[in-house]
Structure 1
Amino acid sequence: MPVRPPQPLVVVGSINVDLTALVERLPGAGETVGGGQLRRDVGGKGANQAVAASRLGARVRMVGAVGADADGAAAVETIRAAGVDVAAVRTVDAPTGTALIAVDAAGENQIVVCGGANALVGVDGTAVGPDEAVLMQLELSVDVVRAVAAQATGFVAVNAAPAQPLPADLVERVDLFIVNETEYAAMPELREAERVAVTYGASGAAMFVGGVEATRVPATPVSEVISTVGAGDAFSAALTLAILSGAPDEQALRTACAVGAAAVAHPSAQPPLDRLEVYAAAGG
């Protein structure tokens, strides 16, 4: 079990509307697949992680941007309803970000993201308090992520997705990177990072310290996979909170794997979750 409540968390990141087509199988190049069912949900890696962290029991505030449109208003209200402080979410002169997602019967997905208002998130308004930890992703400009990390005085975690080249000063500053195995292979500079958590889907997760694997845990078994879209974001939020709570790396990874397993059982990228300690117990 985590040994103390995690410190307040500020999530600086993307807010999108997810348009999800549930289909029997994913289309190939140039192919049309019919028979889909359409869902419209609030998403974006930043919003997903902020909502997950709040549902896991943390005090969370969100920094981001939406458009002055119905999607933006609905997104902000959804994030607020999950218990997240949205005072630092700006309304800007651009459409709310949109993700076009196809999910097949096995839960695998294809995603195209149209950044929209997320491209207008800047350093202004992203001040981080001395008592706050920071969780970010790479759906915002890497320059913004870099600047926020540089000004933060406490713990900084970055879910380095989607993969892209990382400046050396960011790699040096960040306390925890979180990536999947494909992203880890695409960013060799992460071998120089202090600590990197790598997810391997059904094969579990590992923690690399100074480029060397220090801990590996198996995945939490699941009876049915509905969608993997929100699993990585739930994992990222849970791992960050578990480490902030004082859990050692192995226990933190097991807890995060349990949360990720719970997430794949729901079609939304913002699944309902129990408090962190429930998954800490389940993860052993």
Structure 2
Amino acid sequence: MSLEVTVVGSVNMDLVATTPTLPAPGETVLGHGFSTVPGGKGANQAVAAARAGGRTAFIGAVGSDGFGTELRSALELSGVDIDGLRTVPGPSGVALIAVDDAGENSIVVAPGANGELRNLTVEDRGRIAAASVLVCQLEVPLLAVLEAARAAREAGTRVVLNAAPARELPAELLSLVDLLVVNEGEARTLADTEATDPGSLIDALVRVVPHVVLTLGGAGSVYGDRGGRRETVAAPKVTVVDTTAAGDSFTGALAVAWAEGRDLPEACRWASAAGGVTVQRPGATSALPGRAEIDDLYEVTYP
């Protein structure tokens, strides 16, 4: 088995309500739509990678409920190898998502089965070793992420960590990461700083990881490495409908581009095109683009 990307991470059913404005604390607002959409940062990134053309495997856990069956099917239909997806007793993970008319969102995640992802199997380690790139996030137990990163280092597989949701991380895990993908808030948490300047944030982070991509939403992203290279990547100019899965689309496409041999600044441009397609339509998994769509926006945005 030869893989471009193996993803270890979360899979949720997203319960999405659309509303004119996001509620303030203590406020109730009347929404105008509701849907259930397969999601979870890990699953989104796996589907994003598969649709971007990468041979992709997913390692995660769903519950024994109806959502678990739907989530398993959605991953398989998207072309993701799900032999590493286990079923555990109890509920699957869910995310409660509110999306306003400007495309901004707020999200509450109940981990469910994701919290039971532990102890990688021999087969899981094989999937990691077979990949060019391992992608992890922080919606599953930290021990599972650490174990996966150790397995990748032993096998010579490069490790991409999307350090979301934001939290402090052990030095051992950071020492195993080749590429860190973070937004500004996550970067400040890891760097333990109040700095807001992208250059300062990257300077702080490359002390602990060799490569960093700092995502800036509609302002694009900045790549930096320990050698002092810094490159700003502008975001495509598109009409934003829903930003829910934009970061996951970016990360999945970035992993594929890096696995295929593009240098990281160029991979960031291609990944930005993937995110740019994603934000133009609603939903999480359903919004993730295919390779041809990414290529089309890439060629228009970065001629």
Residue 258 of structure 2 is aligned with which of 243, 251, 254? 243
Q: Which residue of 2 aligns with 1:181?
A: 184
Whether contact under 8 Å (2:4, 2:256) holds in the other structure is no
* One-letter amino acid matched to 1:59: R
* One-letter amino acid matched to 1:21: A
TM-aligned CA distance change 1:141 to 1:97, over 3 Å = same
Question: How big is the shift at 1:109?
Answer: 0.6
Q: Which deviations, in whole Å up to 9, do the C-alpha atoms of 1:145-166 show, x marking residues without a partner?
A: 1111011121111111001111
Distance between the aligned counterparts of 1:281 and 1:57, measured in 2? 17
Whether contact under 8 Å (1:258, 1:282) holds in the other structure is no
Question: How big is the shift at 1:279?
Answer: 5.1
- Residue 209 (structure 2) pairs with residue 210 (structure 1): no
TM-aligned CA distance change 1:120 to 1:215, over 3 Å = same
Q: Which residue of 2 aligns with 1:77?
A: 73
Distance between the aligned counterparts of 1:210 and 1:30, measured in 2? 45
TM-aligned CA distance change 1:140 to 1:148, over 3 Å = same
TM-aligned CA distance change 1:7 to 1:87, over 3 Å = closer
- The within-5 A match list for 1:248-263 is 248-263=263-278
- The within-5 A match list for 1:86-165 is 86-125=82-121, 126-129=124-127, 130-132=129-131, 133-152=133-152, 153=155, 154-165=157-168
Distance between the aligned counterparts of 2:126 and 2:173, measured in 1? 16
Q: Which deviations, in whole Å up to 9, do the C-alpha atoms of 1:82-139 show, x marking residues without a partner?
A: 0111111111012000000000000101100000000000122331443312111100
Whether contact under 8 Å (2:17, 2:31) holds in the other structure is no
Question: How big is the shift at 1:230?
Answer: 0.3
SS of the residue corresponding to residue 87 of structure 2 reads strand
Q: Which residue of 1 aligns with 2:200?
A: none
Whether contact under 8 Å (1:239, 1:252) holds in the other structure is yes
Whether contact under 8 Å (1:235, 1:260) holds in the other structure is yes
**Unmatched tracts of structure 1, length 5 or more:** 1-5
- Give me the TM-score of the superposition, normalised by structure 1: 0.93
Whether contact under 8 Å (1:10, 1:128) holds in the other structure is no
**Unmatched tracts of structure 2, length 5 or more:** 192-203
Distance between the aligned counterparts of 2:252 and 2:40, measured in 1? 13
Whether contact under 8 Å (2:120, 2:147) holds in the other structure is no
- Give me the TM-score of the superposition, normalised by structure 2: 0.87
SS of the residue corresponding to residue 207 of structure 1 reads strand
Residue 64 of structure 2 is aligned with which of 42, 60, 68? 68
Distance between the aligned counterparts of 2:29 and 2:301, measured in 1? 38
Residue 216 of structure 2 is aligned with which of 193, 196, 200? 200
* One-letter amino acid matched to 2:147: A
What RMSD over aligned residues (CA atoms) do the two structures have, in Å?
1.7
Deviation larger for 103-112 or 34-43: 34-43
Whether contact under 8 Å (2:160, 2:181) holds in the other structure is yes
Question: How big is the shift at 1:249?
Answer: 2.3
Q: What percentage of aligned pairs have identical amino acids?
A: 40
TM-aligned CA distance change 1:282 to 1:172, over 3 Å = farther
Q: Which residue of 2 aligns with 1:22?
A: 18
* One-letter amino acid matched to 1:109: N
Which has a greater percent of helix?
Answer: 2
Whether contact under 8 Å (1:65, 1:89) holds in the other structure is yes
Q: Which residue of 2 aligns with 1:9?
A: 5
Distance between the aligned counterparts of 2:11 and 2:51, measured in 1? 17
Whether contact under 8 Å (2:14, 2:37) holds in the other structure is yes
* One-letter amino acid matched to 1:141: P
Distance between the aligned counterparts of 2:14 and 2:171, measured in 1? 33
Aligned residues: 278
